[in-house]
Amino acid sequence: MSENSPLPMRNAVRSVRDAGRTSVLVIGGGVNGISTFRDLALQGVDVVLVERGDFAGGASSASSHMIHGGVRYLENGEFRLVKESVQERNRLLRLAPHFVKPLETTIPIYSTFSGILSAPLRFLTHRSGKPQERGAALIKIGLTLYDTFSRDGGSVPRHRFLGRKKSLAELPSLDADVKYTATYFDASMHDPERLALDVLLDGLAANDSARALNYVEAVGRTADGVTLRDLETGEEFDVAADVVVNASGPWTDLTNAQLGQGTRFMGGTKGSHIVLDNPELLAATRGREIFFEHSDGRIVLIYPLKDRVLVGTTDIDADPSKPALCTEEEVDYFFDLIHHVFPTIDTDREQIVYRFAGIRPLPRHEDTAPGFVSRDYRVEVDRSQSTPIVSLVGGKWTTFRALGESLSTKVLEILGRGRTASTADRPIGGGRGFPTSDAERRAWIRAHLAGAGDRAEVLLARYGTRAAEVWAHIEQDHDAPLADGALSTRELAWMVEQEHVVHLRDVILRRTSLAFTGHASAQVIDELADALADLLDWDADRRHDEAAQMRQELGDRHGVALAS
Ligand SMILES: Cc1cc2nc3c(=O)[nH]c(=O)nc-3n(C[C@H](O)[C@H](O)[C@H](O)COP(=O)(O)OP(=O)(O)OC[C@H]3O[C@@H](n4cnc5c(N)ncnc54)[C@H](O)[C@@H]3O)c2cc1C
């Protein structure tokens, strides 16, 4: 790569290399590293974040897309976590309403008392062998407790319990053997990768000395900092830091090993999902998440999202040094559980438009069954060398804001600095001034997206109120549709200039939902590769490699078979 790279990010890499030092270096650009980065940037701290892949491309891209209190963690006695999670859920509904939406959730229940005897044992011991099926009585107790944590001064409705007849009237495709349903509210997250990007962009906007680099890996330790490798050019350079934050999720121990620290903090478990194009199943959910337990006692979900149905998840001990893949056995398991709840609805592999899997960054759990490992997070500080390393252990999507605040507070303590700004009431990215009622929405579109026609809704959904800046950019020059109108040349140029796009896969997998919804056809890949080649000055070989790598990644990691 030339010294005057056309990629803005490469220039940013050069500026970090040339500066050679920062106050805080955050390793890992998943949502938790990004949230910590934003919080530190807001305090005026000189901070650099490095991510070896694309932002939010690790565990943060593999979630069930739920911002939830975690009703079932009550059973593990994790009251602190549940309380913080519901508070953060309610907060994100306000601060990021463009991506976090209320989600009516229904649990179908087949027995009255099952599981209730084993629950107190779990409260006491935090461990379990095989999970037990949870009956109506236990779920009722759990949801009553959840209501007390969850209601946000009454703005979140209480749960409701219905008997068989009323349940089937509301959800007629449910298994007719259902005894009750319990329905409550949580929240869904529509574009996790875009939400993470919004948090990152807010951090960058907050502070000129804050810099974030994707495709840059931390590969070693120096006397006063870390050696970084630019994975685009292969170039290595050292950056000195007062504090290093290791927020590399399931890879935290592996990163510490690269930094010369032997830690055994992590014990991640793999979870997979499939995305189905099945209109009958989509209709059967009636817009709700169906959240239930399979006969093996594991919690699973069937969930409408972007006109598709998301089905997950599994919980299997995993080795983070190997790629996490959704296996054929897991697909059989998912089909089995769909039939358990909706026995008359047909499913087959042809309906799967996308598969994905990731490793949860859970703490090491020895003899606790994967489904019952603590989902709470903690911070470990190593001061054995002149630059302390602060490692994050655990941390869900739901609690990213609170976690970023608490990790940043720990770093400020080490730096001997105070807190000067709070994220508690700060809207996130395109959630700022986001119109929530239909009337507000129409008025906002008239005021900011006049002339955008049918694209107005797409832009508002993709960027929140940032759509106004995107549209102003699109309007400045000739624009042509891409990907059957899902994108356009000027919008792609915006993503390249403003959203840290380095590879074709960043656009197809994370800046848009093209892959998630099954719209990443061979033709779309070629079209976008051509458009990016123009924007990023790729030669014919690079353009060819980008398209080939995209097809391979879709096939190997996401079960999408495309003709080459
Ligand atoms: C199957 C599944 C379902 C889930 N469902 C939910 C849910 O519904 N709701 C919820 O709240 N949570 C959910 N979670 C949990 C949540 O997704 C994760 O806990 C969260 O995203 C973790 O974010 P993170 O930033 O800590 O880690 P990650 O997102 O994994 O980020 C760590 C980053 O560090 C980078 N990295 C690693 N080593 C290096 C290095 N040496 N140099 C530079 N970068 C490096 C990686 O590339 C990675 O991007 C789920 C997780 C999984 C796997």
Show the domains of the chain with their CATH numbers: 8-60+193-267+375-415 (3.50.50.60), 94-188+268-372 (3.30.9.10), 433-558 (1.10.8)
Calculate the CA 111 to chain-centre distance: 34
Confidence (pLDDT) at 4: 47
Using the predicted structure, report yes or no on whether residue 117 has a pLDDT greater than 50.
no
Query: 87 in ligand 1 pocket by Cβ < 6 Å?
Result: no
For residue 484, report the distance from its CA to the centre of ligand 1, in Å. Answer: 32
Using the predicted structure, report yes or no on whether residue 441 has a pLDDT greater than 80.
yes
Max mean pLDDT range (143-147, 290-294, 484-488): 484-488
Tens-place pLDDT, residues 205-216: 999 999 999 999
For residue 294, report the distance from its CA to the centre of ligand 1, in Å. Answer: 25
For 419-426, the CB contacts below 8 A with 24+ separation are 419/43, 420/42, 420/43, 420/44, 421/42, 421/43, 423/38, 423/39, 423/42, 424/91, 425/95, 426/42, 426/95, 426/202
Query: 363 in ligand 1 pocket by Cβ < 6 Å?
Result: no
Could you tell me if 183 and 109 are in contact, meaning their C-beta atoms sit under 8 angstroms apart? no
Calculate the CA 476 to chain-centre distance: 33
Length of the chain as a residue count: 564
CA pseudo-torsion sign 56, 60, 66, 70: negative
Confidence (pLDDT) at 124: 43
Selected residue with higher pLDDT from 350 and 69: 350
Q: What are the Cα distances from residue 415, in Å, to 43, 280, 388?
A: 12, 57, 10
- The rounded distance, in Å, linking the Cα atoms of 561 and 563 is 7
For residue 563, report the distance from its CA to the centre of ligand 1, in Å. Answer: 31
For residue 80, report the distance from its CA to the centre of ligand 1, in Å. Answer: 21
Tens-place pLDDT, residues 519-532: 999 999 999 999 99
* Cβ count within 10 A of residue 224: 14
Using the predicted structure, report yes or no on whether residue 273 has a pLDDT greater than 60.
yes
Name the residue of 37, 63, 100, 274 to mutate for ligand 1: max ligand atoms within 8 A of Cβ: 63
How high is the mean pLDDT of the chain? 91
Q: 3-state class of 88 per DSSP?
A: helix
Selected residue with higher pLDDT from 147 and 556: 556
Confidence (pLDDT) at 82: 84
């379990």: which residue's tokens?
128
Half-sphere exposure of 256 (CA within 13 A, CB side): 24
For residue 357, report the distance from its CA to the centre of ligand 1, in Å. Answer: 11
Query: 70 in ligand 1 pocket by Cβ < 6 Å?
Result: no
Query: 320 in ligand 1 pocket by Cβ < 6 Å?
Result: no
Vertex 376: Cα angle to 384 and 405 (nearest 5): 70
Which atom of ligand 1 sits closest to the CA of residue 32?
25
Using the predicted structure, report yes or no on whether residue 404 has a pLDDT greater than 90.
yes
Using the predicted structure, report yes or no on whether residue 303 has a pLDDT greater than 80.
yes
Nearest CA owner, ligand 1 atom 3: 63
Closest-CA residue to 381 (of 244, 220, 218, 249): 244
Query: 31 in ligand 1 pocket by Cβ < 6 Å?
Result: yes
Name the residue of 266, 315, 317, 360 to mutate for ligand 1: max ligand atoms within 8 A of Cβ: 360
Confidence (pLDDT) at 116: 47
- What values do phi and psi take at 396, rounded to 5? -85, 175
